[in-house]
Structure 1
Amino acid sequence: MSNNAPNDGFQPVLELKDIHKSFDAIVAIENFSLDVHPGEIVALVGDNGAGKSTLIKIISGVYTPTSGSILIDGQPVVMSNATMARSHGIEVVYQDLALADQQTVYMNMFLGREPTKSFGLLDRKKMIAETEALVKELDVRIPSAHATIRDLSGGQRQGVAIARATHWASKLVLLDEPTAALGVAETAKVEEIVESLKKRNIGILIISHSLDQVFKLSDRICVLRRGKQIGVRKTSETDKNEIIAMITGLH
């Protein structure tokens, strides 16, 4: 297997092969290959402009790669929009969360995918029950499923966003700087929630500017520099000095 991938006998949930993305004359991603396995956390690291967010947008269907292929469970797929990525079991948690502030937690959990009963009435009981079960399982500490998003702290909101992604993701959760705006205690709580996703056998790809967080959470680290993949290391077999050298080009 490539990229120091775990030889666990499982097929990768995601495989990127020779992904290339250019915007007119500007090359954003060049010959990028990576796989992510079920229950594995892979960190994407690199300076601003390295191409990390572009890659997340390619995997989530926001951008179409100029060339290269994406495989889910070994099957080639075309991600032409975000809806298609979701249909393949991929969910994204962005830094800005994309939560509806005026709505309750349970309505946010099912935003755009609300279950209905006869006559098209919303099945609120089902939404509340499923929200409470997941929030409890992930230990997202919120007052209740009825709480309004705007009344929650930053960490609680991030917990809800991750819980929502977990609820709908059957294959892969993409996390783009999930704790960038949070304090120390809230960051620690969100990291606990991310770690608990491993038990659900979902693949996780996380962008983080915090190397402390990367070394705490990830199984492997993929380094990008100016759109090129510099290397992939097993987290247990590398250290911050090597990763910093790879990011800065001083290795």
Structure 2
Amino acid sequence: MMVEPLLTARGIVKRYGRVTAIDHADFDLYPGEILAVIGDNGAGKSSLIKAISGAVRPDEGEIKLEGKPVHFASPMEARKAGIETVYQNLALSPALSIADNMFLGREIRKEGLVGKVFRTLDRPKMEKIARDKLSELGLMTIQNINQAVETLSGGQRQGVAVARAAAFGSKVIILDEPTAALGVKESRRVLELILDVRSRGIPIVLISHNMPHVFEVADRIHIHRLGKRLTVIRPKDYSMSDAVAFMTGAKPAPEDTVAA
């Protein structure tokens, strides 16, 4: 039985004046996989991901989630549909607590009049859920759920952002350069976290320039070049230098894109 992709894009085009950022690009994400997206700077991979996550509206093409066409006017709409994106800048509020950051934009209010009229937050409930989610992902090295995010290390902040994405029953999590600003030890923890989230059945799109990380965790690698998908390879079939050569055009890419 053929496995159908969970998320697809066909013929996506995005132009900015005379510049074509996405040129009839295709994309496929299968259930339960880690799909790495790699490409040279300016290849259009970020624009493609922004189109999929609702941050950019494509001029042409179609995006389908679970076989149904979707049209996201904003990242909020994509989130409601189950596509969570963790951007490179993490979009965390440093002065707020871990629990407040976990529920940023989705705060839980107290039941009854107090919540409806006075919009009082149900802090104990939010703190409990935040603690449970961080524990599930092995992140309770963070002792105090009420400590400000600015007191955390880079790896812990990334952990909070990934936990937030995983906490809300997402269908897809997109991670933009999750290890870019981290040291070796913290990068290792984030990679373990990515594998842990995948083991819960949530597929992940990993945008990264770090080839060793890509080859370590990805099931398939989408190579983006000149605004479109060039090919899709499996890490076990090619070397890192092959992937870089395809990406830069130094070597012709295999024609058959790899399905699930």
TM-score by length of 1: 0.94
CA-CA distance at 1:217 after TM superposition: 0.9
Q: How far apart, CA to CA, are the structure 1 residues paired with 2:169 and 2:36?
A: 18
Q: How far apart, CA to CA, are the structure 2 residues paired with 1:91 and 1:29?
A: 21
Alignment equivalent of 2:39, drawn from 42, 46, 71: 46
Q: Is residue 124 of structure 1 aligned with residue 123 of structure 2?
A: yes
Give the corresponding residue for 1:157: 157
List alignment gaps of at least 5 residues for structure 2: 252-260
Over 3 Å off, 4+ runs: none
CA-CA distance at 1:236 after TM superposition: 2.0
CA-CA distance at 1:92 after TM superposition: 0.7
Q: How far apart, CA to CA, are the structure 1 residues paired with 2:191 and 2:177?
A: 11
Q: How far apart, CA to CA, are the structure 2 residues paired with 1:139 and 1:128?
A: 16
Q: Which residue type is aligned with residue 247 of structure 1?
A: M
Give the corresponding residue for 1:135: 134
List alignment gaps of at least 5 residues for structure 1: 1-6
Give the corresponding residue for 1:75: 68
Q: Is residue 20 of structure 1 aligned with residue 19 of structure 2?
A: no
Q: Which residue type is aligned with residue 139 of structure 1?
A: G
- The structure whose Rg is larger is 2
1:21-55 Cα distance to aligned partner (Å, 9 max, x none)? 11121111112112112211100101111111111
**8 Å Cα contact 1:39-1:197 kept in structure 2:** no
**8 Å Cα contact 2:36-2:206 kept in structure 1:** yes
**8 Å Cα contact 1:91-1:169 kept in structure 2:** no
CA-CA distance at 1:204 after TM superposition: 0.7
Q: Which residue type is aligned with residue 105 of structure 1?
A: I
CA-CA distance at 1:235 after TM superposition: 2.0
Q: How far apart, CA to CA, are the structure 2 residues paired with 1:236 and 1:169?
A: 31
Q: How far apart, CA to CA, are the structure 2 residues paired with 1:148 and 1:101?
A: 6
Give the corresponding residue for 2:193: 193
- Residues 160-171 of structure 1: matches in 2 within 5 Å? 160-171=160-171
Q: How far apart, CA to CA, are the structure 1 residues paired with 2:194 and 2:151?
A: 23
Percent of pairs identical after alignment? 43
Give the corresponding residue for 2:258: none
**8 Å Cα contact 1:90-1:169 kept in structure 2:** no
Q: Is residue 235 of structure 1 aligned with residue 232 of structure 2?
A: no
CA-CA distance at 1:207 after TM superposition: 0.6
CA-CA distance at 1:240 after TM superposition: 0.9
CA-CA distance at 1:10 after TM superposition: 4.1
Q: How far apart, CA to CA, are the structure 1 residues paired with 2:200 and 2:15?
A: 35
CA-CA distance at 1:89 after TM superposition: 0.4
Give the corresponding residue for 1:89: 82
Q: How far apart, CA to CA, are the structure 2 residues paired with 1:244 and 1:155?
A: 27
**8 Å Cα contact 2:86-2:165 kept in structure 1:** yes
Q: How far apart, CA to CA, are the structure 2 residues paired with 1:11 and 1:196?
A: 23
Change (3 A) 1:242 1:174: same
Q: How far apart, CA to CA, are the structure 1 residues paired with 2:3 and 2:76?
A: 26
1:93-143 Cα distance to aligned partner (Å, 9 max, x none)? 111111011111011000011111131121111111111111111112312
Q: Which residue type is aligned with residue 207 of structure 1?
A: I
Give the corresponding residue for 1:177: 177
CA-CA distance at 1:169 after TM superposition: 4.5
Question: May I ask how many residue pairs the two structures share in their alignment?
Answer: 244
1:141-181 Cα distance to aligned partner (Å, 9 max, x none)? 31221221011001100100010011125210111101100
TM-score by length of 2: 0.91
Q: How far apart, CA to CA, are the structure 2 residues paired with 1:217 and 1:144?
A: 30
